[in-house]
Amino acid sequence: MAVDEEARRGLEDRLDTVLGREHATTLMRYLPQKSLPLSGI
């Protein structure tokens, strides 16, 4: 299962609400830009 851009934006919005803009931006920088499919798991 891959994470689509809409889900990624939703996560970023939620992190922004909970942590604040600066911390949310920092955390999102550490997450992969595109997820690999989890086939075979």
28 neighbors 16 (Cβ within 8 angstroms): no
Higher pLDDT, 17 or 40: 17
Higher pLDDT, 36 or 12: 12
Render pLDDT for 2-20 as a digit per residue (tens, 0 to 9): 678 898 999 999 999 999 9
Distance CA 24, CA 19 (A): 6
35 neighbors 2 (Cβ within 8 angstroms): yes
Token pair of 31 as six digits: 């997450």
Is the pLDDT confidence value at 38 over 80?
no
